[in-house]
Amino acid sequence: MLVLFAAMPVEAGDLIDQLSAEPPLPGSFPRFSGRLAGRPVELVLTGPGKANAAAAAASCLASQRPDAILQFGCGGAYPQAALNIGDLALATCEILLDEGSDSPEGFLDFEDLGLPLVEGPAAPLYNRFDFDSALVDELYDGLRSFAADNGISCGKGPFVTVSTCTGTDEQAQQRWQDSLAVCENMEGAALALVAARFGVPMVELRGISNLAARRQRDEWDIPGACRNVRKALRHLLARWPGETHG
């Protein structure tokens, strides 16, 4: 089974109508279950932000071990990614971009500070959480075909999770230089951290609702981005590999 996570009802949209409501997870996180594109799934609504996302994921994974978790929703693309509003993006990794410490020499992330977020038999994890490259590549091939058939584009690359969304061109340039990321969001890395702690593979798919640059709210299209990501999600689920890599 796959567990799907979305922050907000607008992102989950009509998927909720196709599933059955279940008792909420501990912490009062709404939960739904059923089949999408012929595959058994559970859908959890986390609420916005890193704290909500981490709490919802931990509440879910404490009692079950899905084949994988899949975060979907909308995100802001950095201009250098050459993605337009309505396009899709698939994450190769998640980065906690703004967690650490400022200093006279510049920003220090958790690795600079010597503070691993996850320790275990493998190398410690700090601000970056890499996803299964074989699984991501396999899914990306199908998503590119889907995007082309629907007149949009699909990008692939690092995602960053931030506490404060980008609102200026200067901030966008700095964040892109620091990460070479495709897009930013407010939940993904928190989910990735919890997935790493529980040893569950993760995939993250976003529809581009805006450019992560100077804030121009009247140019955003959150409903359109969410519709596209839900259509892509159904396509992805229908062609999900029989066995999860890793």
In percent, how much of the chain has pLDDT > 90?
95
The domain containing residue 227 runs over which residues? Answer: 2-238
In angstroms, rounded to a whole number, what is the distance separating the alpha carbons of residues 70 and 88?
15
In angstroms, rounded to a whole number, what is the distance separating the alpha carbons of residues 120 and 131?
17
Q: Beta-strand (E) ranges in the chain? A: 2-6, 20-25, 29-36, 39-45, 68-77, 88-96, 100-101, 108-109, 128-130, 154-161, 183-185, 202-211
138: in domain: yes
26: in domain: yes
Please write the tens of the pLDDT for every residue from 73-123: 999 999 999 999 999 999 999 999 999 999 999 999 999 999 999 997 778
17: in domain: yes
Q: What is the mean pLDDT of the chain?
A: 95
Please choose, from the candidates 203, 192, 161, the residue with its C-alpha nearest in 3D space to the C-alpha of residue 179: 161
Cα angle 135, 140, 142; round to 5: 110
245: in domain: no
162: in domain: yes
Banded pLDDT at 64 (limits 50, 70, 90): very high
In angstroms, rounded to a whole number, what is the distance separating the alpha carbons of residues 118 and 194?
9
pLDDT, average across residues 178-185 = 96
pLDDT at residue 242 tops 90: no
Instruction: Write down the pTM of the prediction.
Output: 0.94
- In this structure, what DSSP letter does residue 56 have? H
Q: How many domains does the chain have?
A: 1
Cα angle 193, 199, 203; round to 5: 65
123: in domain: yes
What CATH number has the domain bearing residue 208? 3.40.50.1580
246: in domain: no
